[in-house]
Copies of this chain bind each other. A is one copy, B any other.
Amino acid sequence: MPVSDASTARSRRRHRTEAAILEAALDVFALHGFRGATLDQIAEGAGMSKPNLLYYFASKEEVHARLLGDLLDHWLAPLRAIDPGGEPVEEILRYVRRKLDMSRDYPRESRLFAGEIIAGAPRISDFLVHGLRPLVDETVGLIRGWTAAGRLAPVDPMQLIFSIWALTQHHADFAAQIAIVAPGDRAGDPGAFLDQLYRRLLTPEAAAERIRAG
C-alpha cells in the first residue's frame, strides 16, 4: 500500500490546502464580489503566496467557479426536501426554517450568491435556468395542488417562494445593517417571527375556524 498510501496522504494534504484557499476566497468574494476581489488578498488570507494559490487553481475564475459550484449543490436541498405527502403548512414552515438555518450557518455563501445575482447572474444563469427553475416550477405546482385541495390558504405560489427567499436571505445579506440598527438582543427572533407570519398567511380559513371553534 505504499503508492496508495502516499497518494491518499498527498491528496488529503492537497484537499486541506484547497480548503484553506476556498475559505479565504469565500471571505473576499462574499465581501467584494468577483471583480472587486484580488488574488493577493485571497492568498494572504489563506497564508500563502499568490503563485502557490495559482498552483492549486488555474485562475481567479476557477476559484470563484468552484465556490459557486459547491454552494449551488447546497442551495437546492431545502426545496427538494419539501414532502408532497406532508402537511402543507408544516412542510412550508419546515422549508422556511431550513432556509433560515442556512442563512444563519452560511452567511458568506448567501452573500456570495446575492452578489452574483446583483451583478446580473453572469456566471450562474445556467444553474438558475436548468437547476433552480424546474424545481421551482415543480414546487409551484405542488402548492397549487395544496391550495386547490383547500389545505392551504390561496396565495400566489411564485410570490410565496420569492418571499421566503427574501425573508431568510435578508438576515445574512444585510447582517451589517441589522447589526447597526438593532444591535445585540434588540433584534428579536427571526425564526419565531417567520413562523408566525407564514402560519397566519397559509393556514386555510376553514382550518383556522376549526381551531377557533376547537
Contacts and interface: CB of A to CB of B under 8 A. Distances in A.
A174 B111 CA distance: 12
How many copies of this chain are found per oligomer?
Answer: 2
- Helix, strand, loop or mixed for chain A's interface? helix
Interface stretch (A2-10, A51-59, A90-98, A177-185): A177-185
Interface in A117-169: 117-121, 125, 128-129, 132-133, 136, 155-156, 158-160, 162-163, 165-167, 169
Contact of A166 (B117, B132, B156, B170): B170
Contacts of A1: none
Contacts of A74: none
A176 B124 CA distance: 10
B121 A176 contact: yes
A31 B201 contact: no
Interface residues of A, number: 62
A114 B193 CA distance: 23
A188 B206 CA distance: 22
Contacts of A173: 114, 117-118
A162 B100 CA distance: 14
A88 interface: no
Contact of A32 (B33, B156, B158, B192): B33
A181 B214 CA distance: 34
A97 to B, nearest CB: 15
A194 to B, nearest CB: 8
A170 B190 CA distance: 17
Q: Which 5 pairs of residues, A with B, have the shortest CB-CB distance?
A: A35-B36, A166-B170, A159-B193, A36-B36, A156-B188
